[in-house]
Copies of this chain bind each other. A is one copy, B any other.
Amino acid sequence: MMNAQQAKIGIVTVSDRASRGEYQDLGGPAIREWLDKALTSPWTAVPRLVADEKPVLEQTLIELCDQEQCCLVITTGGTGPAKRDITPDVTAQVCDKILDGFGEQMRAVSLKFVPTAILSRQLAGIRDRTLLINLPGKPAAIADCLNAVFAAVPCCIDLLEGPRLETDPAVIKAFRPG
Contacts and interface: CB of A to CB of B under 8 A. Distances in A.
Interface string A149-169: 101100110011000000000
Interface stretch (A44-52, A57-65, A99-107): A99-107
Interface in A127-178: 131, 149, 151-152, 155-156, 159-160, 175-177
Interface string A88-122: 01000000011111111101100100111111110
A100 B103 contact: yes
Given A97-B89, A160-B82, A175 B116 contact: yes
Interface residues of A, number: 39
A85 to B, nearest CB: 8
B101 A118 contact: yes
A91 to B, nearest CB: 13
B82 A115 contact: no
B99 A151 contact: no
Given A100-B103, A101-B107, A111-B105, A81 B119 contact: no
A80 interface: yes
A38 interface: no
A97 B89 CA distance: 8
B116 A102 contact: no
A111 B104 CA distance: 11
A85 B156 CA distance: 13
A7 interface: no
